[in-house]
Amino acid sequence: MAKVRWTEGAGLELLGIADLMSDTSASYAESFLDQVDSAAALLGDFPKSGRVVPELFNEDFREVIVGPYRLLYRVHGDDVEVMGIVHGARDLRTYLGGR
């Protein structure tokens, strides 16, 4: 089983998204966080279950879709590192360029 680790930036992004969602619906924000938690836990058992990020063409960088968001992660040896979470409508190249 792989160890799933979140980068500080990815954790802050997730908290920011949940905070914005909670302004409209606390229960929706809580449900979203549960979905993200479940998706990340599944990566511990199946690190390569996500698809390769199409924009990156690198087998080590993958993503799973959670609602309208892309959970971006990197498979590094026996570990999974969650690199970020970005809305699917956002241009990923612009997002990555700002990191």
CATH class assigned to 3-97: alpha beta
Residue 77 zone, left/alpha/beta (φ > 0; ψ -120 to 50; rest): left
Domain boundaries, the chain: 3-97
pLDDT tens readout for residues 36-90: 999 999 999 999 999 999 998 889 999 999 999 999 999 988 899 999 999 999 9
Confidence of residue 18 (pLDDT cuts 50, 70, 90): very high
Q: How confident is the model at residue 98 (pLDDT cuts 50, 70, 90)?
A: low
